Structure 1
């Protein structure tokens, strides 16, 4: 199983905070460092010093790290036009030597849009725009050198685009789609995704969603095994109950709730829980949502006591 660190910088983190934990994750042997793409804090936190832009952050990390993969879980389609986003991701892929992955979603957090003057269409239109963005971004990347890309959609039109720059990873960087939607989300995953991620769910909920994706693949003749299965879980691991309670309290989460829909307990308990996830859902990748970015000992504990025990 691949282990990835997943952060929520809108809750309060500077670039240096993110760099520290990204380097710690790289040194500890994690497969990737991911961050959310949000512009406004959630819940009862100050959010200070304020949001950092996801792709500016990843561009910096592309130069300030060496081996760890980098990506978003997930970029909101409402935030950026698809053509410029394709350019941005391709450039960061070049800057990192081919280590970038694009998680893309429809956008959902209305308050951050109103806080920063970002249009927030109704859900149906957001999904229509999201669908067109996936078609455009992957289409631009797949356009052969010397050829031109054209697209005539309801919301976006591209004419005679040279489709440059090209990402290092060919034909495209990995595209991650995720969520809990029962129909349109699995259908989009079947068409565009290299990976499908189920965030913050129970094992049963995740298993059902993966089956929806597999069914959607069958409808278009795609082998569902081509799409990697992954899950995102809030993590709190402690060597004993006292350390576990301290880590849960630091992120404002009840231990029992974390045990239900997260990954919480001693290292041995975490290993057992991950085994259940593997057996019942077929996941081969886990995103561990680390909310206390200053607790680098937590990252090291997972790397030394959990990762080596999970095949």
Structure 2
């Protein structure tokens, strides 16, 4: 099981906060640092200073300030950007990082943040997914078009005239694509067609297993032979004893028992046991949602007491 750190900077974090976590993530030996792609704080709107940071601008900075850790998003919203410029931006960050980028990509869902920043939001989930599928086709097509050849797209929502499909990412044919969610039909099919990794966020072990099963079936139905990586994301709250667990839970506004049920909470041994249950389902990666970004000792504890038990 490989461990990755996952941040929610829209809740109130500067670039410097994220850089500190990125450096700590790398120094502690974790595999990757991922961040959300949101422009509005969730929950209490009275806080959230200093305001949102753009995911790909942030990752570009982190690409130049780190050397080993992989970098990505869970998930970039298809509603935020046009597919052509997004393909360029991600390819550029991949080159800036020396090939350490992974492209987590979703349809977009948080309508309020679109309204606040004047971003058009398709009225129906069907239209959002139609646009999302076209964007997946365009972005992966632009990256995979051989140098010297051209790419064009004639779709319902997007039309790209014939062009050189540049720049190319560092990785060939492009950064790994991560698709996530628990939708019963389109999500498994799109993952089977486009994804290198399928992620289930913030679900119980049983629900995660069911979602993995739907995607595995879609992979078989499609006749796909390329391996799929399966992963899960869970909120993190680890402590050496009950007092430390309770202190960390309080700082993120959660109850300990609720976190034990719905996240990775408890002593290091408890957390290892629960991660093992995800591993039994076939999960190869676990994204640890670090909600208190000032608590770098939290990462040190996981690196020292949890990671070594996972092999």
2:139 pairs, out of 114, 137, 140, with 137
Q: Which deviations, in whole Å up to 9, do the C-alpha atoms of 1:62-96 show, x marking residues without a partner?
A: 00111100000000000000000000000000000
- Give matches, 1:197-216, under 5 Å: 197-216=199-218
CA distance in 1, matches of 2:75, 2:85: 17
Counterpart among 149, 152, 160 of residue 150 in structure 1: 152
Give, in whole Å, the separation in 1 of the partners of 2:196 and 2:258.
Answer: 31
Deviates more, 1:268-277 or 1:57-66: 268-277
Q: Deviations over 1:16-54 (max 9, x none)?
A: 000001100000000000000000000126111000000
Given the alignment of the two structures, is residue 86 of structure 1 paired with residue 83 of structure 2, yes or no? no
User: Deviation per CA, 1:159-187, whole angstroms, max 9, x where unpaired?
Assistant: 11210000010011100000010000000
The answer to whether structure 1 residue 247 and structure 2 residue 248 are counterparts is yes
User: Which residue of 1 is the match for residue 263 of structure 2?
Assistant: 262
- Aligned pair 1:297/2:265, yes or no? no
- Report SS of the residue matched to 2:171: coil
Aligned to 2:173: 171
Q: Helix, strand or coil: the match of 2:88?
A: helix
Q: 2:119 maps to which residue? A: 118
TM-score normalised by structure 1 residue count: 0.98
The count of aligned residue pairs is 309
Aligned partner of 1:185 in structure 2 is 187
- SS class of match (1:129): helix
Q: Distance in 2 between matches of 1:99 and 1:145?
A: 21
Alpha-carbon deviations, 1:230-279, whole Å to 9, x = none? 00000000000000000001001111111112100000111111111111
| 4+ residue segments displaced more than 2 Å | none
- Residue by residue over 1:77-127, the C-alpha shift from the partner in whole angstroms, topping out at 9 and shown as x without a partner, is 000000000000000000000000000000000000000000000211100
- Tell me, in whole angstroms, the C-alpha distance in 2 between the residues paired with 1:204 and 1:276: 10
Matches within 5 A, 1:37-76: 37-44=37-44, 46-76=47-77
In 1, Cα distance between equivalents of 2:146 and 2:88? 15
Matched with 1:14 is 14
Normalising by the residue count of structure 2, what TM-score does the alignment of the two structures yield? 0.98
* DSSP 3-state at the match of 2:18: helix
